């Protein structure tokens, strides 16, 4: 399907409309940026549209996926003090391979852990803290490249 024939894409809109302070990584294949107002939540997605959410990655996309997720996860942990970073992707709502990375802390309640964390996105939201953490994640990513 030609790009002009594709339905409206909210992922493309999010990438195009993200202010620079919300962008973490971008190359010719991938984009990573702050997700919502949840501190440390990062959305990571291909720039191209795909018809097969998970296994339709190109060889180049596949080769970069692991190193980029490792780098993002390390930056999130360093910036937030999280004990682990959850990585989730459902593939239902976008024409891009995409995933969400979310910090999980030692004091995260047991019933909030795993995919349950998504249900608590409103309680976690804090715009000023999300902006502070985004700045710290960017700094960690810069330090990794040095």
| pLDDT tens per residue, range 71-107 | 999 999 999 999 999 999 876 666 778 899 999 999 9
The per-residue pLDDT for 70 is 96
The per-residue pLDDT for 17 is 86
CB 101 within 8 A of CB 65: no
* Rounded-to-integer distance, Cα 135 and Cα 23, Å: 10
pLDDT band at 132 (very low <50, low <70, confident <90, very high): very high
* Rounded-to-integer distance, Cα 42 and Cα 35, Å: 5
- Quick: pLDDT tens for 18-76: 899 999 999 999 999 999 999 999 999 988 887 665 667 889 999 999 999 999 999 99
The per-residue pLDDT for 143 is 95
What is the rounded (10 degree) CA torsion for 101, 10, 36, 90? -30
CATH class of 3-145: alpha beta
The per-residue pLDDT for 57 is 86
* Rounded-to-integer distance, Cα 31 and Cα 35, Å: 12
pLDDT band at 144 (very low <50, low <70, confident <90, very high): very high
- Residue 126 pLDDT > 80, yes or no? yes
Helices 127-145, 59-80: axis angle to 10 degrees equals: 120
The per-residue pLDDT for 96 is 78
The per-residue pLDDT for 6 is 54
The per-residue pLDDT for 2 is 46
- Which pTM was predicted? 0.88
């Amino acid at each position: 399907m030609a790009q002009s024939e594709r339905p409206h894409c909210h992922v493309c809109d999010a990438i195009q409309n993200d202010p620079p302070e919300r962008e973490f990584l971008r190359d010719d294949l991938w984009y990573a940026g702050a997700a919502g107002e949840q501190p440390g939540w990062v959305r990571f997605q291909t720039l191209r549209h795909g018809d097969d959410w998970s296994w339709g990655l190109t060889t180049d996309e596949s080769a970069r996926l692991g190193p980029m997720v490792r780098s993002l996860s390390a930056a999130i942990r360093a910036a937030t003090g999280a004990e682990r970073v959850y990585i989730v992707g459902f593939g239902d709502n976008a024409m891009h391979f995409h995933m969400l990375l979310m910090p999980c802390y030692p004091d995260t309640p047991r019933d909030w852990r795993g995919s349950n964390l998504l249900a608590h996105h409103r309680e976690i939201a804090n715009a000023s803290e999300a902006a502070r953490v985004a700045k710290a994640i960017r700094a960690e990513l810069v330090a990794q490249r040095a």
